[in-house]
Amino acid sequence: MNRLETTISTLSDLVAFPTVSSDSNLDLILWMADRIGAAGGRVRVIASDDGTKANLFATFGPEGDGGVVMSGHSDVVPAEETDWTSDPFVLREEDGRLYGRGTCDMKGFLACIMACLPDLAEATRPMHIAATYDEEVGCLGGQQLVEVLRAEGLRPRLALIGEPTSMRIVEGHKGCCEYSTHFHGLEGHGSQPDRGVSAVEYAARFASRLLELRGDLRGRAPANSRFDPPWTTLQIGRIEGGVAHNVIAGLARVDWELRPVSKDDQIRATRTARDYCNDVLLPAMRTVHPDASIVTETIGEVQGLEPVDDNEAAALVASLTGANGADVVSFGTEAGLFQSLGCDAVVCGPGDIAQAHKANEYVEIGQLEACLDLLTGIARRPA
């Protein structure tokens, strides 16, 4: 088979693994590991703490720092939409498109990597393959992998994250941080509110402070920001608590998110929220109920990819694709994690993000061909 035929066949195999984030990805990871190892790659399978999932990290070429890491996540979102016209875990080809869950986001990219294994085996600089778990629920596997690489002192020079960008170069995206703040007060009869601690009322005060903070963040928009909107956004997704009209609420929760344009904004916002809870709300709650508490749970923190003036990864991709310029996007990826490791990072991959997370997800065969040309060019580029 030629490279494209191999890619399509491999994508069919990858789609058949139902690696929804709530389930294990081990079968897919071990399948990839066997094939990469057979092609001469040095393969490591890094298990999650509970052992139900794993990252794959494989290397071709010389040992040591430098080189390129090509990264994609192995998990997919659930395929529970009712308007699928075929089995989401069976690849279907029609009119130049390949349909199935994960074809676009982002098993198409992983299939292209697997089809390029012979070229990677001939590389003269380190070429790394990363396949992570639980990207869709907070980049959990990517965080683990980057921490392992940091602890071991391994520093790839460049990172290519193959999220679906229609093969456009993306050099920046905001972070995405999700939190749930839980309020534990003291239930009581509504006729005597001073004898209870209403978790709902304190949650409402917290939500009001978050809205004030949102305005502050808007005023901190960088002058040269290319994001839309250009500032760090904050929004409240859900407030829940209480049991009845006449019962003082003992429990409440506020779900909120940040999409920071910089790490500094993330630190400033979370610190402000924490200090308001600890220094203002909690002392007031404990004047009535010493065991009252406020706990903020981190659901997920996806690090942003900050655009930089000299991005060698973006320059390499541009030289091979002929692209003019680079974009920023609103969706998150694992690129910021690799940037934090010291890599020049870029996002570029086959498929349109508009097709992700929906019924009849697909990737165009032409997009896979363009991705194969890019990966082959990278593998054959002299060290």
- Greater confidence (309 vs 249) lies with 249
Q: Average pLDDT for residues 7-24, to the nearest whole number?
A: 97
- Report the phi/psi class of residue 259: left, alpha or beta, with left for phi > 0 and alpha for psi in -120 to 50: beta
pLDDT digits (tens, 9 = 90+) for 334-354: 999 999 999 999 999 999 999
Q: pLDDT value at position 70?
A: 98
pLDDT digits (tens, 9 = 90+) for 245-294: 999 999 999 999 999 998 899 999 999 999 999 999 999 999 999 999 99
Q: pLDDT value at position 302?
A: 85
Contact 70, 127 (CB under 8 A): yes
Q: Are strands 362-364 and 247-248 parallel, antiparallel or unpaired?
A: unpaired
Assess whether pLDDT exceeds 80 at residue 145: yes
Assess whether pLDDT exceeds 80 at residue 1: no
pLDDT digits (tens, 9 = 90+) for 64-97: 889 999 999 999 999 999 999 999 999 999 999 9
Q: How confident is the model at residue 202 (pLDDT cuts 50, 70, 90)?
A: very high
Q: Give every CB contact of residue 370 below 8 A, 6+ residues apart in sequence.
A: 167, 321, 350
How does the average pLDDT of the chain come out, rounded?
96
Q: Tell me how far apart the alpha carbons of residues 177 and 271 are, in angstroms, rounded to a whole number.
A: 13
Contact 232, 265 (CB under 8 A): yes
| Amino acid at residue number 63 | E
Q: How confident is the model at residue 296 (pLDDT cuts 50, 70, 90)?
A: very high
* Closest to 260 measured CA to CA, from 299, 304, 300: 304
pLDDT digits (tens, 9 = 90+) for 357-366: 999 999 999 9
Q: Which ranges of the chain would DSSP assign to H, the alpha helix?
A: 3-15, 26-38, 108-115, 117-120, 140-152, 199-218, 263-276, 282-286, 312-321, 335-340, 365-380
Other beta carbons within 10 Å of 84: 17
pLDDT digits (tens, 9 = 90+) for 147-180: 999 999 999 999 999 999 999 999 999 999 999 9
Q: Which domains does the chain have, with CATH numbers?
A: 3-173+305-380 (3.40.630.10), 176-302 (3.30.70.360)
Question: What kind and span of H or E run contains 195?
Answer: none
Assess whether pLDDT exceeds 90 at residue 234: yes
Catalytic residue annotation: 75, 135
Q: Are strands 68-73 and 176-184 parallel, antiparallel or unpaired?
A: unpaired
Q: Average pLDDT for residues 308-323, to the nearest whole number?
A: 94
Q: pLDDT value at position 68?
A: 97
Assess whether pLDDT exceeds 80 at residue 383: no
Q: How confident is the model at residue 115 (pLDDT cuts 50, 70, 90)?
A: very high
